[in-house]
Structure 1
Amino acid sequence: MADLSFYVSPLSEEIREEGRAEGRAEGRAAGRAEGRAEARAENILIVLGARRIDVAHAIREKITTCRDPEILRGWLLRSAVVATAEEIFGSL
């Protein structure tokens, strides 16, 4: 019979706890990044709305589903100067 004592040893429990802690940290980081992306997308829509620029459903969806922070940053900057919502998607 195989020796399974390692799986219940303090060392194995420490290794598992380190893995759980890493997983929690990664999950928190992913959650923060997701929150920042959502906030940036919302800010784009707020700026366009404040400027009374109509935003079609397809454009709104493209903005709110994007998760790339650099793309969203570029769109946010452009939202302050474009004449139409479509123009925020020009080459960065």
Structure 2
Amino acid sequence: MKSLVTHYPGHRTMFEETYLEGEAKGKVEDRASLVLRLLEKRGIDVPEDVRERITSCDDLDTLTLWFDRSLTATAAEDLFVESSEDETNP
């Protein structure tokens, strides 16, 4: 008698883990790219150290916060300035 092995989403096979990690990494890279593109389209100079900080970040929530800040920033460094408004608007 043959045994039937069923794999389904959420079963956490090695293949699924690898796929999900790759998907998450792709989202992070896309978000970092959008932050940089928005700053550049707005004519804001992005120094190399700021570019490195953005592209090396692997936290999607942080990149989302930086994206939101890039909408109104006047300098690239403004992305990293903590404000009380950030705490009230998750």
TM-score higher than 0.5 here?
A: yes
Query: Quick check: which one's helix share is greater?
Result: 1
Please list every run of at least 4 consecutive aligned residues from structure 1 whose deviation after the TM superposition is greater than 6 angstroms. Answer: none
Q: Unaligned 5+ residue runs, structure 1?
A: 1-9
1:14-53 aligned within 5 A: 22-53=13-44
Q: Unaligned 5+ residue runs, structure 2?
A: none
- TM-score, reference length from structure 2: 0.78
- Which entry has the higher C-alpha Rg, 1 or 2? 1
Query: How many angstroms apart in 2 are the aligned matches of 1:31 and 1:90?
Result: 30
How many residue pairs get aligned? The number is 77
Identity of aligned residues (%): 34
- TM-score, reference length from structure 1: 0.76
Deviation at 1:80, TM superposition (A): 0.7
Q: Which amino acid aligns with 1:79?
A: S
Q: Secondary structure at the match of 2:43?
A: coil
